[in-house]
Chains A and B, each alone.
Chain A
Amino acid sequence: MAPAIQLRRVTKRFLTPKGGVYTAIRDLSLQVAPGEFCALVGPTGSGKSTTLALISGLEPPSEGEVEVFGKPVTGVGHNIGYVFQADAVFPWKSVLDNVAAGPRYRGASKREARERAQDWISRVGLAGFEDRYPHQLSGGMRKRVALAQTLINSPEVLLMDEPFSALDVQTRTLMENELLQLWAASSASVVFVTHDLEEAIALADRVYVLTAGPATVKGNYVVDLPRPRNVAEIRFQPRFDEIYQEIWSDLRDEVLVSYERQKRIGAA
């Protein structure tokens, strides 16, 4: 069976405003099996968001191949869900219409879309806020709108870019558990970007560590913790610590490289 997501020796270059070329990703290869939950960790600016943009089809690779379910990605696919790092809910739509947007664009009737949206709004704990506009919500609430907006389409490939980083610890744990349940009930393949190694291990089947930019895969680690997991408790398992130590020694080096580099740029 073809992997759900396959990147083969992918390179992505950007033109900088000054006319130079910046390589964000170099020679990056990774694979996500169908139904697998993958986490992507790496220092800031290493190219994690760029990797997701390539998988989603929003950006074409400069070199190499990107495939989803065995087919080369040529544009935005219909089976992709993407929770963006930046706020991307529509400020002129109410919460209800924001969540109903996906089904509407995909041809559902207004009534059906709103019914399904209502259900998802309750699931992310926003019942009662249907008529609010995004500017009337907190940052964490907007993130939950974005989550419902994405999950309502039941995507086969789910890309999430630091979706919970704006939430407080309690809500975050709740949402992580909720996500795991939703994912277990679906057959979605997930790529979950985070800065937080603990979060990555608690959620994922496999953790990819990226190098400081230009990103390439430094290593990938199987997380053989049992499922179903409770995110709040799994951190206390001895095996969790072992995995954490193993990955952290790799990640720390890259974070240091990235930090030193930024300090140098800052000093120059």
Chain B
Amino acid sequence: MSVRSASALPEAAAAPERAGGRRALAARRRRLMVNGLRLLVLVVWIGSWELTTRIGLVDKFFFGMPSGIVQRLWTWITEGTALGPLWEQVLVTMEETVLGFLVGSVLGIILGIALGRNRLLADVLSPYIKAANSIPRVVLGALFAISLGLDLKSKVATASILVFFVVFFNAFQGVREVDRNLVANARILGADGRRLTTEVIIPSALSWIAASLHISFGLALVGAVVGELFGATEGVGELIYNAKNNFDANGVFAGMALLAVVALVAESLITALESRLIKWRPNPVTDVAI
């Protein structure tokens, strides 16, 4: 319905369909233009990269070359990598990332809510958490490589520790920022402590937690790849590491491209998960007033 425009513009009220159609057309045209410009940016970027390396303005030994990267990806796909079939490497990294993400966020949510609900616990543990948060945690990957070995576990541990802190702080803050009116209302309506947690605290903290999941999935990927760099026998990180050892810039870029694809797929999954978790929130995508 074009209620808003109809009341604002008298002539639009006479022909609401036409006005709506015109607006839809304008929106479509804009979308087309944005996508066209995006493509242009890509073409200019890749084109100038290819051109400058081809004529030798930029050394392709250090910076790779788009056509070389595509070629490298193609050989990986068709002939497999030095470590085995490509899809296996991607799958291994995915597995480490997803497991690390799950472990880290579940622990983060549980501990964040527990500390948010318990003043004493929060006061006792806060200096340790702050200290742990201030060290660059990726170096723990080295420790895990020693203590947990070169297989899956050390990567999952590295990924989950990165995820944990982000989710933990958001869950903690989410609990602290709960609307006091809602808590008061729930208490008046008869909610006990447990109900207060499940019916008020967790739902209202969820929007904070959901916001942190975007960042933390990216961090899980970072953790998994860093874990692989510290020592592994398979995975995209190990592919990149090998390429680096062979001074194969194209291989490094090809590995990065793979990671970008993984991250983009994950991002869309998280967005879907988020809109499931907090469907009660005003949503600009589903609440369109056409």
Interfacial residues, chain A to chain B (CB-CB below 8 A): 56, 58, 76, 78, 80-82, 84, 86-93, 101-102, 105-106, 133-135, 149-150, 153
Contacts and interface: CB of A to CB of B under 8 A. Distances in A.
Interface stretch (B83-91, B114-122, B274-282): B274-282
A86 B180 CA distance: 11
Residue from A81, A92, A101, A105 having most chain B Cβ neighbours under 10 A: A92
A88 B281 contact: no
B182 A88 contact: yes
Residue from B179, B181, B185 having most chain A Cβ neighbours under 10 A: B185
A154 to B, nearest CB: 12
B187 interface: yes
Given A86-B181, A87-B181, A76 B188 contact: yes
B203 A58 contact: no
B190 interface: yes
A153 B190 contact: yes
The A contact surface, by secondary structure, is loop
Given A84-B185, A88-B182, A135 B282 contact: yes
B186 interface: yes
Residue from A81, A87, A91, A133 having most chain B Cβ neighbours under 10 A: A91
Contact of A84 (B184, B199, B278): B184
Given A92-B206, A105-B189, 8 more contacts: A80-B188, A84-B181, A90-B182, A90-B185, A90-B199, A92-B280, A106-B190, A150-B188
Nearest to B179: A88
A82 B183 CA distance: 13
A82 B203 contact: no
Interface string B259-290: 00000000000000000001011100000000
B281 A135 contact: yes
B180 to A, nearest CB: 9
A105 B181 contact: no
A153 B203 CA distance: 23
Contact of A78 (B190, B203, B282): B190
A82 B185 contact: yes
B154 interface: no
Contacts of B179: 88
B195 interface: yes
B19 interface: no
24 contacts: A56-B188, A58-B188, A76-B187, A76-B188, A82-B184, A88-B182, A89-B185, A90-B199, A90-B203, A91-B280, A91-B281, A92-B203, A92-B204, A92-B206, A92-B280, A101-B199, A105-B186, A105-B189, A105-B199, A106-B189, A133-B280, A135-B281, A135-B282, A150-B188
Instruction: In the A-B complex, list the 4 residue pairs whose CB atoms are closest, starting with the nearest.
Output: A105-B190, A88-B185, A92-B280, A102-B189
A55 to B, nearest CB: 11
A103 to B, nearest CB: 9
B200 interface: yes
Contacts of B182: 88, 90
Contacts of A90: 182, 185-186, 199-200, 203
A58 B187 contact: yes
Contacts of A78: 190
B191 interface: yes
A199 to B, nearest CB: 23
Given A58-B184, A84-B184, A105-B195, A93 B280 contact: yes
B280 A81 contact: no
Nearest to B278: A92
A106 B187 CA distance: 11
Contacts of B185: 82, 84, 88-90, 149
Contacts of B278: 92
A81 B189 CA distance: 7
B205 to A, nearest CB: 11
A78 B191 CA distance: 10
Contacts of B282: 135
Interface string B165-205: 00000000000000101101111111110010001100110
Contacts of A82: 184-185, 188
Contacts of B204: 92
Nearest to A78: B190
A134 B200 CA distance: 15
Contact of A101 (B181, B184, B186): B186
A56 B184 CA distance: 10
B19 to A, nearest CB: 25
A80 B184 CA distance: 12
A135 B278 CA distance: 13
Interface string B17-48: 00000000000000000000000000000000
A25 to B, nearest CB: 18
Contacts of B188: 56, 58, 76, 80-82, 150
A101 B203 CA distance: 14
Contacts of A105: 186, 189-192, 195, 199
A149 B203 contact: no
Nearest to B190: A105
